Structure 1
Amino acid sequence: MSIHWVAASNDERPGGEWKLGAAGFGYGDDDDQTVLKAMRGKYRSVYIRRAYEVPAKAPRGAELTVGIRYDDAFILYRDGKEVLRKGVEGAGASISKVKKHEAEVWEYFKIGPADPGQKGVIAIEGHNENIDSSDFTLRPRIDYRANGKLYPVIREGASWAYLAGGAPGAGWTRIGGIGGDEAAATRYKFSYRKKGEREWLSAPIRERKFGKTEDLAFSADLGDLKPASRYEFRIVRWGRPVGPWEFETAPARFQDGMSFVTGGDMYGTRAWLDAMNLRAGKEDPLFALLGGDLAYANGTNGGRWRDWLDSWNKCAVAPDGRLIPMVVAIGNHEVKGYQYRPKNAPGREDAPFFYSLFSGKSEGANFTVDFGDYLSLVGVDSGHTANIAAQTQWLGRVLGNRLGIPRQFVCYHRPAWGTGVKADATDIRREWSPLFEQFKVDCVFENDHHTYKRTHPIVGGERSDKDGILYMGDGSWGVKTRNIPKDWKKRTYLAEAQALRHLIKVTLKRDEFLYEGMTEDGKIFDKTTRPLRRGEADTR
């Protein structure tokens, strides 16, 4: 299981152009080592930072001190935490009041214990009383005090990283140099534990660019999770915990009445998306199987992806507070040009956000997810970043390898058996439908057409209640629906067709399946049952 999240670049990267300069910093006094010639009349704040290391010879009980000459005010951070402020209210770009102060003499302040060999970061923001002030000074030195004497840690006139005329990004107080590669503290730490246990476990974090933007995507891969267990997790960001959140793992053995929800074509408007995500959470499913056209970002709009994730995080929450895990397939609106090209699909590079967010899909958008030996999910790319025929051999192999699993579902985006609002995917009919029939797939979930449909159980497009495959969809989770042709019943494989935003709830029972079409307000407008066909009544 993986936890993914995305952060905007202006929240994650230290902002502005950082440079190196000798302390002190200022203008107007003819005694500054780094003269800020452009400061007067243009900006009133300067930010500096530097890594420190307390000498190993420092005795136990030593105190770290700052000696500073300042005009007019400052805030000092040690290892990301504010430990001292003089003459200023607020911080950063949000300062509200600065008291005038002249840098006439050195002033000394204690800033905490100095343990031998201790490493960290000192960061200081200096502020002028007003933007047109005649002078400015920020001139620090760091020492440790022992036996009534001062011993240097950062000498007077030492080089510091400084930012003048800009606003720093999140975490700037925990980085010691110009760039993030000189960080003295990890930006993120991921911890999780089984609920009720005391010890937090850590998981490594993978970081990469989010699509073609400067935003960042992160993943934590969790192993050794116990089945049917509640876990909580938290993210420590720049030393500050965010969360916790909770999730639940699937049981090792089948449990009568377990359920999941499915649907696609999600983000038409935020209101529609939120409403159906809320419904998904209220139904208390084990997971959600999402069939593509997730954020409608068309391979170019990272902001819509962040909105989509924000909605899921806030709305797709079970009644007991746990987050609902998702399993995702790709759709045409994940791809630049929102393409459906079954025979000459573009490459994965045309869906940069999808593949950078769901980074485990390095081999493509097709997938298998097995729940013990009682349930299997298979996802396929219906002509968006992979050709349909090119996946046929893989699909036959994974379906054949799972003949012993009594419940099996397939999900993809473009319908083979639609309602007539758009052309059907005849390549899928020809390449994949015979495999569904051969291996007795229980139900195939299709999306894309912005309608609701349920077929009869069919073989080769003809109704067969005993041996047929059920197809359901067609993707209208949170989008404007399309009008269904009045003569839809001429498509004799169709059992039901409606123009409704919906999700489908699938309840698994020991000897049958219950499928319910449901609106955002919880109204069930269509339902059907199908028997367990891949084995006798199952107790696994």
Structure 2
Amino acid sequence: MNVKGTIALLLAATAAVAQQVLVPPYLQPGNYPALTSEGKVLIWQTDTVPGAFVVEYTAGTNFEHAKKISRSKVTVTPLNLNKQTTLLYRSQLGKLKFDQDYIYRVLQNGTVVSTATFRTRTRKPETRFAVFGDCGARSPQQAKISWLVNEQKPDFVLVTGDIVYNNGREQEYRRNFFPYYISSKSDSSVGSPIMKNIPFYMLVGNHDIYSADLAKYPDGLAYFYYNDLPLNGAVPEETLEVKGPPAQVDAFRKSVQPRFPRMTHFSFDHGNVHIACLDANSYINPLDPTVIEWLTNDLRTSKADWKIVAYHQPGFNSSKAHYDYQLMRLLSPVMEQLGVDLVLTGHVHNYQRTHPLAFEPKKDSTGARYLISKEGRVDGKFTLDQAFDGVTNTKPKGIIYIVTGAGGAALYDKEMSAKPFMWKHEPQENWVPFTAKMVSDIHSFTLIETAGKKLKLRQLDSQNQVIDQITITK
């Protein structure tokens, strides 16, 4: 065979095994919790065909006038899931400056696979971020919310859990989540490419851990594959139990270290906001001593103007759905003592905002233990600040609790929307009229903006209409 014939055969063979990008490159916050150093992480996934990737980045919004172009190391983790091997790539963009625009590009054999710009965190006393949860359901509403959030150009996005349905599997992320947030175009019918240039801080919800039995779901617990978040949190005494054949469990743990299980509790700063993110799933003791010690130190030492705590399952919820699960109420006295301003949750597929409130959980006759019903209810004493309206009175006395779980999954209790007479539960020790606003008949997301001692919260629905707004001042 002559040389031309050999080359032709080689080219044909190469084309036959051409690499397929399964998840395009997207931006993650990385392990940068405090405003002392800054960086980001790029993640992408391909099929089993290896690629010689190069990642370059520079300050500014184009490469043509760059004074210096940096290259970052690319690492690859083979994932042997569902009798298939895929390759998960990571590249850390380090030593970034605060308040700076950057551009990155991912190249393979000199060809640009992906490029996008992003802006690093700010140290100024301001920020603007979006919040939603319960989103990865492969729905038209999910696409619309993605598009609307991208149009708002937030500094970052906080996802309050239940990232993907139904079980948090790798194949579900690739089918139900990424296509809506790393879309090739920005359109209300398909979503947006928001994750290419805006980092998502994602909390773990109950649907994200339903696949902890790897014998049943070999591609389970994909939360730990696809996220790269701060690793400054506590590891509680009781953590998620991963089940399955020992070799399979060992392979999972090796693939996700050091993220499992530490990454389910973390905190970070952005501008003048400090956010502590917690795991509130059923295996967690809300008053775990290790977590309480970490949370106390984390919030007490923060110099941020605004202190926010986020977790998936709400303690204060007036919907019928998930009403009985109230274990996170036990954390209220601790958060009150530590000066928490807002609590952001999901789980219930609608929007709710409480009056500012304080809560004292009920104890047994010895005063040593909190009382919890078999359903998970926590009775106690409520103190409501009903004078706060967020317009004329903007100084709340107590914590405001938000449920923002209308990010894409089917809505809960649509008939209860804006009907306070339907929100009542019994007995009075378990429920008082703590809900100031509930919108349950349309999908929505939360937009929070801070400027010094002023915080503005707006809830925007899938028609881009403001359905709730308050201002808080200090």
Contact 1:450 1:482 (C-alpha < 8 Å) held by counterparts: yes
**Please, what TM-score do these two structures have when normalized by structure 1?**
0.60
Unaligned runs of 5+ in 1: 1-23, 25-66, 77-84, 86-91, 93-122, 127-162, 172-179, 340-348, 533-540
The one-letter amino acid of 1:285's match is: P
State how far apart, in whole Å, the 1-side matches of 2:316 and 2:220 are.
Answer: 26
Deviation at 1:502, TM superposition (A): 0.5
Contact 1:437 1:459 (C-alpha < 8 Å) held by counterparts: yes
Contact 1:418 1:453 (C-alpha < 8 Å) held by counterparts: yes
State how far apart, in whole Å, the 2-side matches of 1:251 and 1:168 are.
Answer: 44
Deviation at 1:192, TM superposition (A): 0.9
Does the C-alpha gap of structure 1 residues 209 and 531 become closer, same or farther in structure 2, counting only changes over 3 Å?
farther
Contact 1:462 1:493 (C-alpha < 8 Å) held by counterparts: no
Q: By percentage of residues, which structure has more strand?
A: 1
Identity rate, percent: 19
Q: By percentage of residues, which structure has more helix?
A: 2
The one-letter amino acid of 2:436's match is: A
1:495 to 436, 442, 448: 436
Contact 2:136 2:176 (C-alpha < 8 Å) held by counterparts: no
Give 1:296's aligned residue.
Answer: 165
Secondary structure of 1:364's aligned partner: helix
Secondary structure of 1:125's aligned partner: helix
Matches within 5 A, 1:82-481: 123-125=10-12, 167-170=16-19, 187-195=52-60, 196-210=65-79, 212-213=81-82, 214-255=85-126, 258-305=127-174, 307-314=176-183, 315=186, 323-336=197-210, 352-360=221-229, 361-362=259-260, 363-371=262-270, 374-383=272-281, 386-390=284-288, 391-402=291-302, 404-420=303-319, 421-430=321-330, 432-460=331-359, 461-464=382-385, 465=388, 466-481=396-411
Does the C-alpha gap of structure 1 residues 452 and 124 become closer, same or farther in structure 2, counting only changes over 3 Å?
closer
Contact 1:247 1:323 (C-alpha < 8 Å) held by counterparts: yes
The one-letter amino acid of 1:203's match is: S
State how far apart, in whole Å, the 1-side matches of 2:81 and 2:308 are.
Answer: 33
Contact 2:404 2:446 (C-alpha < 8 Å) held by counterparts: no
Deviation at 1:462, TM superposition (A): 2.4
State how far apart, in whole Å, the 2-side matches of 1:389 and 1:411 are.
Answer: 15
Does the C-alpha gap of structure 1 residues 515 and 413 become closer, same or farther in structure 2, counting only changes over 3 Å?
same
Give 2:40's aligned residue.
Answer: none
Secondary structure of 1:396's aligned partner: helix
Does the C-alpha gap of structure 1 residues 292 and 211 become closer, same or farther in structure 2, counting only changes over 3 Å?
farther
Contact 1:318 1:324 (C-alpha < 8 Å) held by counterparts: no
The count of corresponding residues between Structure 1 and Structure 2 is: 355
Does the C-alpha gap of structure 1 residues 303 and 238 become closer, same or farther in structure 2, counting only changes over 3 Å?
farther
Does the C-alpha gap of structure 1 residues 453 and 396 become closer, same or farther in structure 2, counting only changes over 3 Å?
same
Contact 1:317 1:323 (C-alpha < 8 Å) held by counterparts: no
State how far apart, in whole Å, the 1-side matches of 2:212 and 2:294 are.
Answer: 25
Does the C-alpha gap of structure 1 residues 503 and 437 become closer, same or farther in structure 2, counting only changes over 3 Å?
same
1:525 aligns with 2:467: yes
Secondary structure of 1:352's aligned partner: coil
Once the two structures are superposed, what CA deviation does each residue of 1:223-251 show, in whole Å capped at 9, x if it has no partner?
Answer: 21111111111111344212221111122
Does the C-alpha gap of structure 1 residues 205 and 307 become closer, same or farther in structure 2, counting only changes over 3 Å?
farther
Contact 1:415 1:474 (C-alpha < 8 Å) held by counterparts: no
The one-letter amino acid of 2:435's match is: L
Unaligned runs of 5+ in 2: 21-45, 230-258, 360-381, 389-395, 426-431
Deviation at 1:397, TM superposition (A): 2.4
Secondary structure of 2:449's aligned partner: strand
Does the C-alpha gap of structure 1 residues 425 and 389 become closer, same or farther in structure 2, counting only changes over 3 Å?
farther
State how far apart, in whole Å, the 2-side matches of 1:317 and 1:227 are.
Answer: 26
Deviation at 1:478, TM superposition (A): 0.7
Contact 1:408 1:442 (C-alpha < 8 Å) held by counterparts: yes
State how far apart, in whole Å, the 2-side matches of 1:475 and 1:300 are.
Answer: 20
Contact 1:417 1:424 (C-alpha < 8 Å) held by counterparts: no
State how far apart, in whole Å, the 2-side matches of 1:310 and 1:385 are.
Answer: 31
Contact 2:170 2:220 (C-alpha < 8 Å) held by counterparts: no
Secondary structure of 1:274's aligned partner: helix
Rg: which structure is higher?
1
State how far apart, in whole Å, the 1-side matches of 2:196 and 2:3 are.
Answer: 50
More RCO (CA 8 Å, sep 6+) = 2
State how far apart, in whole Å, the 2-side matches of 1:211 and 1:299 are.
Answer: 17
State how far apart, in whole Å, the 2-side matches of 1:494 and 1:270 are.
Answer: 28
State how far apart, in whole Å, the 2-side matches of 1:463 and 1:289 are.
Answer: 27
Secondary structure of 2:298's aligned partner: helix
Contact 1:210 1:356 (C-alpha < 8 Å) held by counterparts: no
Deviation at 1:215, TM superposition (A): 2.6
